[in-house]
Amino acid sequence: MISSEKTTIADTSNQKENSAAPVSIIGKQQVVVENGKYTPEILWAMGRIGDYAASPDLKQIVYSIAYFSVKENKEHVVLHLMNQDGTNDVLLTETAYNESSPVWIKDGSKIAYLSDASGCSQIWEMNPDGTERKQLSFFEKDIDSFKFAPDGQHILFIAQVEYIFKPENLYQDLDKTTGLMANDLMYKHWDKWLKTVPHPFYAAFDGDKMQEATDILKGTRFESPLLPFGGIEQLNWSNDSKSIAYTCKKKAGKEYTLSTDSDIYVYDIATQQEVNICKLAGDPDQNMGYDMNPTYSPCGKYMAWLSMEHDGYESDKNRLYVMDLETKKKTYLTKDFDSDVNEICWDSTTAKIYYTAVWHGRTMVYQITLDGEVTQITEGDYDFEGLVMMGSKILVKRHSLVQADDLFCIDLENNLGITQLTHENDHIFNQLKLGKTKARWTKTVDGKELMSWVMYPSNFDPNKKYPAVLMCMGGPQAPCSQLWLYRWNYSVLVEQGEYIMILPNRRGCPGFGQEWKAEISKDYGGLCMHDYFAAIDDLATESYVDKDRLGCIGASFGGYSTYWMAGHHEKRFKVFAAHDGIFHQEAMYVETDEMWFVNWDLGGAYWEKDNEAAQRSYANSPHHFVDKWDTPILCIHNDMDYRILVSQGQSAFDAARLRGIEAEHLCFTDECHWVNKPQNSILWYRVMIDWLKKYLNV
C-alpha cells in the first residue's frame, strides 16, 4: 500500500507576489510494497525525471522531477540540484507551484526556470541555492518554453497565438456560445481543436526584466515548433546571438495536412529577414520531408539538423545533415547508418557529433565524425535519451523495460565508463520483485529473422506453465525497444497477471534497417501480421507456456492489429484488448487529423478505385472480418483522440455485442490518444488487468 501523501505548509516568504498562494505540496511519496507486488498505484507514486542542465563550470546539475497525487488527480514539478558526480542532491523549490525547465544564466550565477507562481507560466530566476527568486518575464500569455541567447541579452520563447476564430468574434451577441467554426482542414490536431498554435517570440533582456517581445511568425497561421510534440529543441540561437534558427512548415489548412515538408529558417533579429537553408537557390539537394532541430556547432562554423527525404512520409529515415555555414555545402552524414537518428549534440571540439538511435531493440548513444565514421559508445539492454554535453562527459537519461529513468554520466575519456547520478525511485524498486527480459529471434514466413523482447514474471519457474500475452506495438513505425512507459507499463501487466509477454519488432519497427521499416506501409494486413503470428506461435512451443491461455493486446496500430487478429486468429487467443485502435479504415481516412499519414501508409483515399495499394489497404480493414470474431474483446477509446476518433472503438464494441460476443467498452471523455490523468490511468490499468485475468487466469 502507499502511505499518505506528504502535505506541508509552503514557505510563503518566497511567495510575496501572490498572497493567496496554495499550500498543499505534492512531493516524494513513501511507499510500502506488499509482497513485492507491482501495482498501478505504485507506478503513480514514482518521481519522473524531466529536464536537466549542467552549470557552465561543469560542477553542478539542475534537474526537474514530476510527482503526482492520485487523490488530487494532479501533478507537481519541482527542481533539484546536485554535484556533477551525483552527491549533495538537494531540493531547490519547496512551494506548491510548478517549477520546471531549468537552465543556467549569467555565467552560472543564476538558474532560470518556468514557474506558474504569478498565475501563468513565466520565466523566473533564482540563486543556485534556491534563494532570491525573481520574475523576469511578464508576458500576457503562458510561456511554454524558452532559451537565452549566448550573450544573455535576448530571450527566445514559445507562446500560443489564435488559430481558429470563435463565433463570438463574428456575432457579438452570442458571447456564451461554445461553437467553433472551421472552413479548412487541420482544424483539430492530436488532442484539441486548434484554437491556438505555437509561435516563436524573442525579446531583449536587460539582466533584470524581459522587454517587449517580437513574434517571428506574426500575422500567420504557421506553427513553430511543430505540433503535436515539438518543443524548444526545434529552435536555436546562433553562437553570436544575432540569429535564430527555427523549424517551420509554412503551410496551413488542407495544404498543411497533406504535407510533412518542414524547413529550417535562419532569422536575423536586426533586419528581421530570413533564409530557408533547406531550399537554397541552386542547391540540387532540396530536402522535401521533415527538417528540424537545428543545432549550431561550438565553433559556429556548422549547423547540424535532422532531415527526411520524402514529403508525406512522416516515418522516413531520419537523417543527420551538417551544413558549412560559410560555403553552404550540405553533407548527409549518416548515409551509411541504416537507422534513424533521434537526437544530436555536438562535441565541444566540433570534431564529433553524438546521437541516439535504435538498433535491434535498444536505443544507444553513437559518435560520428564529420567524415561519417560511426562508433557505438553504449551497450546493454537499455534505452538512452536526452544527450547533454558536460565537458568530456555526456549527461543522459537511461531506462529499460523494468527500470524507470535515472540520470547517468558517460565518461568519454575513461573507457566510456557510466556512472549513475540519481536514484529517484530506489526506495520503491528495492521493494519490488521484477522479472527479466530476454531477446528472442524467430524465423518469419518469408525466411527473415524477427527479434522480440520476452518478459518473464518475477516468480517465473520453467517447470510451470504460464499464460502468454502478445503485445502489439503502435506507431506503426515505432521501435519496440527497452522503452519505459507509464501509460502502458508492461512490467505492471506481467506481474499482475503472472504472464509471459512477447513484444515483437514486426515489420515497420525501426532498428532493423530501412527496408524492414518500410515494409509495413500500404500493407497493414500483410507481413507485419504474419510476424505477430510467428512470434506468438514460436513462444507457444515452450514447455512453460500454456498455449491454451494466450491473449492479444495493443494500442493505436496495435489496436488495429488486435481488431484484425480477432478476425484471423483461428482460435489462437482466449482474449483481446484494444486501446484507441483503427477498426474501420474508410472512416479513419476522413476522420483523422494528419492526412499525410493515411495517404502514405494506406496508399490514398478509399474512393480511388484504380489505386491498387489503397484498395488492398481498405480490403484489410478489420471491420470486414467481424463475421469471424469469436473471442471476448475489450475496446478502450477516448473522446479527445483526434488521430483515431472514438467512433472507431465504439463501432468495434457495438459490432462485437451485436454478434453476441462478450465485450466491454471503456471511454475517457477527457483523454486523448493516451490516458495521462492519474485516476483515469489507474482505472485503465484495473479494467485491463481484470479483463485479462478473467480469461487467462482460469
Question: What pairing do the DSSP bridges indicate for beta strands 466-472 and 500-504?
Answer: parallel
Question: What pairing do the DSSP bridges indicate for beta strands 343-346 and 352-359?
Answer: antiparallel
The catalytic position among 51, 64, 641, 651 is: 641
Q: Rounded to the nearest 5°, which phi and psi values hold at 396? A: -140, 160
Element (H, E) at 627: none
At 176 the pLDDT is 86
DSSP codes of every residue in 20-75:
T-------PPPB--GGG---HHHHHTS-EEEEEEE-TTSSEEEEEEEEEETTTTEE
Mean pLDDT of the chain: 94
DSSP codes of every residue in 569-587:
-TT--SEEEEES----HHH
Q: Could you tell me how far CA 55 lies from the centroid of its own chain?
A: 26
For residue 183, what pLDDT band results from cuts at 50, 70 and 90? Answer: confident
How many Å is the Cα radius of gyration of the chain?
Answer: 26
Residue 397's DSSP bridge partners are: 385, 407
* 109 is an active site residue: no
614 pLDDT exceeds 90? yes
Coarse DSSP helix, strand, coil percentages of the chain, rounded to the nearest 5 percent: 20, 35, 50
**Three-state SS sequence of 403-436:** EEEEEEEEECCCCCCEEECCCCCHHHHCCCCCCC
Whether 408 contacts 397, CB under 8 Å: yes
Sign of CA dihedral 565, 570, 573, 576: positive
At 585 the pLDDT is 97
Question: Could you give the CA distance from residue 578 to residue 292 in angstroms, rounded to a whole number?
Answer: 33
Give whichever of 152-166, 254-268, 284-298 has the largest mean pLDDT: 254-268
Nearest residue to 388 (alpha-carbon basis) of 434, 448, 438, 348: 348
Higher per-residue confidence, 169 vs 596 = 596
Grid cell in block for residue 428: 520503491
8 pLDDT exceeds 70? no
Give the 3-state secondary structure of residue 302: strand
The catalytic position among 154, 569, 584, 673 is: 673
Whether 191 contacts 642, CB under 8 Å: yes
Q: Rounded to the nearest 5°, which phi and psi values hold at 217? A: -105, 30
pLDDT digits (tens, 9 = 90+) for 535-557: 999 999 999 999 999 999 999 99
Question: Environment class of residue 435 by beta-carbon count within 10 Å: exposed (0-12), middle (13-18) or buried (19+)?
Answer: buried
Element (H, E) at 647: helix 646-658
29 pLDDT exceeds 60? yes
Whether 471 contacts 490, CB under 8 Å: yes
For residue 166, what pLDDT band results from cuts at 50, 70 and 90? Answer: low
Percent of the chain topping pLDDT 90: 90
Q: Rounded to the nearest 5°, which phi and psi values hold at 257? A: -75, -10
List Cβ neighbours of 79 (8 Å cut-off, separation of 6 or more): 62, 63, 64, 65, 91, 92, 93, 99, 100, 102, 111, 113, 130
Give the count of beta carbons closer than 10 Å to the beta carbon of residue 609.
9
Question: What pairing do the DSSP bridges indicate for beta strands 545-555 and 466-472?
Answer: parallel
Whether 146 contacts 201, CB under 8 Å: no
For residue 613, what pLDDT band results from cuts at 50, 70 and 90? Answer: very high
Question: What pairing do the DSSP bridges indicate for beta strands 192-193 and 274-276?
Answer: unpaired
Nearest residue to 99 (alpha-carbon basis) of 58, 72, 73, 65: 65
Whether 104 contacts 53, CB under 8 Å: yes
* 673 is an active site residue: yes
Question: Could you give the CA distance from residue 114 to residue 369 in angstroms, rounded to a whole number?
Answer: 36
pLDDT digits (tens, 9 = 90+) for 433-465: 999 999 999 999 999 999 999 999 999 999 999
The catalytic position among 262, 481, 556, 561 is: 556
For residue 415, what pLDDT band results from cuts at 50, 70 and 90? Answer: confident
pLDDT digits (tens, 9 = 90+) for 627-649: 999 999 999 999 999 999 999 99
* 556 is an active site residue: yes
Q: Rounded to the nearest 5°, which phi and psi values hold at 58? A: 65, 20
Nearest residue to 378 (alpha-carbon basis) of 406, 356, 400, 352: 356
For residue 167, what pLDDT band results from cuts at 50, 70 and 90? Answer: low
Whether 423 contacts 406, CB under 8 Å: yes
**Average pLDDT of the residues in 350-370:** 97
pLDDT digits (tens, 9 = 90+) for 66-124: 999 999 999 999 999 999 999 999 999 989 999 999 999 999 999 999 999 999 999 99
Residue type (1 letter), 71: K
Whether 338 contacts 514, CB under 8 Å: yes
Nearest residue to 645 (alpha-carbon basis) of 687, 594, 582: 582
Grid cell in block for residue 154: 535576448
Question: Could you give the CA distance from residue 96 to residue 489 in angstroms, rounded to a whole number?
Answer: 28
Nearest residue to 156 (alpha-carbon basis) of 91, 107, 112: 112
Nearest residue to 49 (alpha-carbon basis) of 383, 406, 356: 406
Question: Could you give the CA distance from residue 263 to residue 172 in angstroms, rounded to a whole number?
Answer: 39
At 347 the pLDDT is 95
Q: Determine the Cα angle at 479 with ends 477 and 485, to 5°.
A: 115
* Alpha-carbon distances of 400 from 65, 484, 495, 521, rounded to whole Å: 19, 6, 16, 28
For residue 23, what pLDDT band results from cuts at 50, 70 and 90? Answer: low
Q: Where are the beta strands (DSSP E) in 370-515?
A: 374-376, 383-390, 393-400, 403-411, 418-420, 437-443, 449-455, 466-472, 500-504
Q: What are the structural domains, with CATH classification, of the chain? A: 434-696 (3.40.50.1820)
The single residue listed with the C-alpha cell 483515469 is 680
pLDDT digits (tens, 9 = 90+) for 309-318: 999 999 999 9
654-686 b/e with 16+ CB inside 10 Å = b?
ebbeeeebebbbbebeebbbbbbbbebbbebbe
Nearest residue to 393 (alpha-carbon basis) of 357, 345, 459, 340: 345
Grid cell in block for residue 30: 513513501
Q: Give the N- to C-terminal CA distance of the chain in Å, as an integer.
A: 26
Nearest residue to 384 (alpha-carbon basis) of 408, 368, 413: 408
Q: How many residues does the chain have?
A: 698
pTM of the model: 0.93
Torsion-angle region of 312 (φ positive above 0: left; ψ -120 to 50: alpha; else: beta): left
Element (H, E) at 694: helix 678-696
